[in-house]
Chain A
Amino acid sequence: MNEQYNVPPPTNDRFSNGEDSVARLLRLAGHRPAVPAQDAAIVKEAARAEWQRAVKARRRRNLYAGGGGLLAAAALLLLVLAPSFWRVAPSPVAAPVATLEATTGNVVITGQRDEMLVAGAVIETFAGGTVAATADLALTDGSRIHVGPGSRLELVAVSILDLERGTVHLDSDSASGSLEVRTPLGVARDIGTRFNVQLLDDGSLLLQVHDGEVELTNSQGAHRALAGQQIKVSASGTVTPGQLPPDVWQRPGRILPAYPAGIGPNPLPDFLDWVGEKCGLELEYANEEARAAAAIDRFGDVTGFSLDDVVPIALPSQLEHDVTPDGRLVIDWKPGDGGES
């Protein structure tokens, strides 16, 4: 018999010899199992962001209660009336998780340090306005995020996003591990992919997968969607899988950020190159005549529009475009147009 088991019987006087019994029980059991370090880090980051929010909220309340109400009200008024781009200094302790690449329209960002967004940062893009409000981010793990108009997104951690409303489009870096989008109706985890997560106005959730594979977890369990598939979750939690409409799948419909060269006039071929790059497509001209016909300058602002909105407007009337399933943006003559310029 193992000596370690010589523990007094489980009666009320089980510990009559006190320390020895405690010591023996502890030695019998050994150390408590360790918690996975990665899980601890993830939870800690989220907890820290929540704690910082709570502290800030409390300070704001104290400011009001302590006779600083007028000042705070003025600050709030300034926030409301401020220019569309408002940045709030982050806490110095939070870790950077993303770089802000571009914004359009009315966007409010909290948790920004220079161009870096830190854990707990919130991006809010407002609906309406003459220019669609959007934000483009690059996570430190290499993934890219486009936040559509009317959205509120929190960067809980580098691999955890919390979508309260609106739409996010994600191009994840497959080498960087799983990216997680949390919504009130479920959690979408990618497995190296491009996908949209959209909270619709009717209260439902729509997940559309363009590349790779995504797992959605909600109260009904885990559901997987491959490229070309979508999952809809009703407000009551009912899950309806389906095929992505072909036009949506072949044309990801990514909303474009501001064109870096400005409104122009700019060379159309450069612009088409940039659109292809932003949408993960390779630009290709069907023939040399099409290439020559596209060699013009164009003028205008494309921010807030999708590829399918912008390219037909930008192209001369005799040209059209197509997005092939293998990821090419092809510029060709319209049927019946013989090549007049």
Chain B
Amino acid sequence: MSSRSDDFPDLQHGDRVLVKRMLRGDEAAFEEFFEDHFPGLYRFALARLENPDLARDIVQNSICKAIAHLGTYRGEAPLSAWLYTICRYEISGHYRQTRRAPRPVDLVEEAPEVRSALESLSTGLEGPDEALRRKEVARLVHVTLDHLPPRYGQALEWKYLDGLPVKEIASRLGLGLKAAESVLTRARKAFRDGFSSFGQGRPDPALEGSSPGAA
């Protein structure tokens, strides 16, 4: 996913526009911001904290901090990467305060089990580990989707899980047919890149590289 921002420079432009609209007090922009980013952040925190109430509080703090510093977002990284970085810092802060070691995030980005699960996909998943492996791969797919720009993840789910025609996807995205096809193409590429980097244990810059001030 390291090349994501280079591949899709329009995303940062869209993020910058969204942030500007929010700073102007545009209610629709706030709705878009929240609906696009909250679910992924919640699942991200829940995977690391295992406590729904705590995950909710951590995400709330993260979003509120991000909003309080929206004026500092310069659009040099995707907004989602900025938010995940803040959330990751909040989670680290929680573990520092409680003096506990962070819970290893099993079977998500870096775990060898994920790679093993992926390797098993081509050879068949029979035997006692089948359900576990299936769950591992599902989680990796979900994490990848959560780290894509929100409309990419939505578009992929609409097409492949809900079976919607491109025309309907275009309508939901507020785009023309050609533009929706383009979004789907880029979404597939982004998914492939993200899934490959997760599966091969390459860290996601959104999670590892930047700091809250880096945007």
Interface residues of chain A, those whose CB is within 8 Å of chain B, are: 1-2, 5-10, 12, 14-15, 18-19, 21-23, 25-36, 39-40, 42-44, 46-48, 50-55, 58-59, 93, 187, 219-221, 237
Contact = CB atoms under 8 A, between A and B. Distances in A.
Interface string B54-69: 0011011001100110
Interface in B94-140: 97-98, 115, 118-119, 121-122, 124-126, 134, 137-140
Q: Which 7 A-B pairs have the closest CB atoms?
A: A10-B118, A29-B141, A219-B97, A9-B122, A29-B138, A50-B64, A26-B160
A272 B111 CA distance: 68
A219 B161 contact: no
Given A28-B137, A32-B39, A36-B52, A54 B68 contact: yes
B27 A30 contact: no
Contacts of A59: 25
Interface stretch (B6-14, B74-82, B169-177, B188-196): B188-196
A220 B125 CA distance: 43
B98 A55 contact: no
Interface of B: 22-25, 27, 30, 34, 38-39, 42-43, 52, 56-57, 59-60, 63-64, 67-68, 70-71, 97-98, 115, 118-119, 121-122, 124-126, 134, 137-142, 145-146, 153, 156-157, 159-161, 188, 191-192, 195-196, 199-200
Contact of B43 (A12, A29, A33, A48): A33
A55 B23 contact: yes
Contacts of B57: 187
Contacts of B25: 52, 55, 59
Given A28-B138, A35-B43, A40-B42, 10 more contacts: A1-B126, A6-B121, A14-B118, A22-B160, A30-B138, A32-B39, A32-B153, A34-B39, A47-B64, A219-B97
A28 B134 contact: yes
A26 B124 contact: no
Nearest to B115: A10
Given A1-B125, A221-B98, A51 B67 contact: yes
A25 B137 contact: yes
B39 A42 contact: no
Main secondary structure of the interface of B (DSSP, over half): helix
5 contacts: A22-B188, A25-B195, A35-B38, A36-B52, A47-B30
Contacts of B137: 25, 28-29
Contacts of A30: 138, 161
Nearest to A189: B53
A22 B192 contact: yes
A219 B95 CA distance: 9
B160 A23 contact: yes
A36 B52 CA distance: 9
B98 A50 contact: no
B52 A47 contact: no
B23 A27 contact: no
A2 B98 contact: no
A53 to B, nearest CB: 8
User: Which of A50, A58, A187 has the most CB atoms of chain B within a 10 A radius of its CB?
Assistant: A50
A32 B38 CA distance: 13
A12 B196 contact: yes
B193 to A, nearest CB: 9
**Among A12, A29, A93, A220, which residue has the most Cβ atoms of chain B within 10 A?**
A29
Contacts of B159: 23
A42 B142 CA distance: 24
A8 B156 contact: no
A48 to B, nearest CB: 6
Given A26-B157, A29-B142, A5 B124 contact: yes
A26 B115 contact: no
A265 B145 CA distance: 71
A26 B56 contact: no
B38 to A, nearest CB: 6
